[in-house]
Every structure is written in C-alpha cells, then in structure tokens.
Amino acid sequence: MNSLERARLLAGLLLSGLVALLAFAALSLGGSMPALPVPIRSPSPARPSIPVGSVDALFAPSTLGELAPPAKLQSPFYTTYYQPPAPKPPTTRKVELTYQGFFETAEGQQRAFIKTGDTLFVGPVGSKVLADLVVVEIAPRKLTLTNSAARTNVLEFNARQELEVPVQ
C-alpha cells in the first residue's frame, strides 16, 4: 500500500501548486474594480414627505363629526341593556329663608316678614309660607315654623337659613 506520505513526488507537486497560488494572490494579478457608468440624468427635486395641507383637514370640526357613529346605530360593541334605570324625580327641594322682622296691626295681630329666595312673604300666625311650612310663633328675635310632619324650624332674625320643603 502506497500512502500519500510515501509518494514524495505527489507531495512536492501539491506544495508547488499551493506556493504558486499564494504568489498570484500576493501579486494581485492586476485585477481591479470594473468602471461604473456615469448616471445620465440628475435626481428629481425632493418632495415633502408629509402633505401639510391635508393635515389641517384631518382636525377640522366637520371631519371629527363624521368619526362619531350615527345615533341609533346597532353595534355589537355597544348595548343599552346595562343602562341604569332613570332616577326618580326629587321629592324635596332646598329653600333659603330669612326672617326680617314683623309688624303689629291696630287690632293686635302680628304679621311676619319672611324673605324666600327673591320674594317677600308677609303673613300672620297660622299662614302657609311655602309648601307645608306654617308660621307658629312670631317674636322680635325669632320666628317659629312647623311643617306637616310636626318638625319645628326656628329662624333667627336676619339670619339666612336653608330648609327642605316638599316639591309641589
């Protein structure tokens, strides 16, 4: 059996071929880059990448109105099933009252001046001021009012007080 290590002639030829390849690569064999052709036309002028005129139209009120879905349109993403029930109308309202004094008639009957919001009420004991508020007692420094639920309210002279009365 003749192995490659024993064939000196073949080993010498391979070595000389490798040395020749190395020499050609080192000398570069005159190779160079090919000459590129000169471009015939010049590039076109640059255009703006964002059309500025159409950006203003994107935020116009008419455009924003078109984005909202039309009313009463059925959509799988919107339902009225889970809407809370409509709130009940209020049964009471708040009123500001100010006791502004009283006067006494020739017969001895007292009449109280009560400012309710922007109006002035003048009335004797037993008269109805607002809703179910009734004058019970008139005194120089205080006025006593009561309602149908027997709740008593005392108004001090010239002091604004807020009371709840039923809505009529």
**Domain membership flag for residue 67:** no
4-18, 30-44, 68-82 — which is least confidently predicted? 68-82
Domain that holds residue 128: 92-166
**Domain membership flag for residue 138:** yes
* pLDDT, position 17: 94
Decide: residue 166, CB within 10 A, 0-12 exposed, 13-18 middle, 19+ buried: middle
* pLDDT, position 25: 79
**Domain membership flag for residue 153:** yes
DSSP 13-80: HHHHHHHHHHHHHHHGGG--PPPPPPPSSPPPPPPPSS-HHHHHHHTSHHHHHHHSPPTT--BTTB-S
**Domain membership flag for residue 80:** no
Kindly tell me the sign of the dihedral angle through the C-alpha atoms of 128, 150, 93, 103: positive
Rounded to whole angstroms, how far apart are CA atoms 119 and 17? 123
What are residue 55's phi and psi, to 5 degrees?
-70, -40
DSSP 105: -
* pLDDT, position 52: 67
**Domain membership flag for residue 123:** yes
pLDDT confidence of 67, banded at 50, 70, 90? confident
* pLDDT, position 7: 82
Q: Give 21's contacts (C-beta < 8 A, 6+ positions apart).
A: none
Q: Give 165's contacts (C-beta < 8 A, 6+ positions apart).
A: 92, 93, 94, 95, 130, 131, 132, 133, 147
pLDDT digit string, tens, across residues 85-137: 889 999 999 999 999 999 999 998 999 999 998 899 999 999 999 888 999 99
Structural domain count of the chain: 1
**Domain membership flag for residue 154:** yes
Residue 69 has pLDDT above 80, yes or no: no
Q: CATH no. for residue 152?
A: 2.30.30.830
**Domain membership flag for residue 110:** yes
23-27, 91-95, 124-128, 147-151 — which is least confidently predicted? 23-27
Q: Give 159's contacts (C-beta < 8 A, 6+ positions apart).
A: 98, 99
**Domain membership flag for residue 2:** no
* pLDDT, position 113: 95
11-15, 46-50, 159-163 — which is least confidently predicted? 46-50
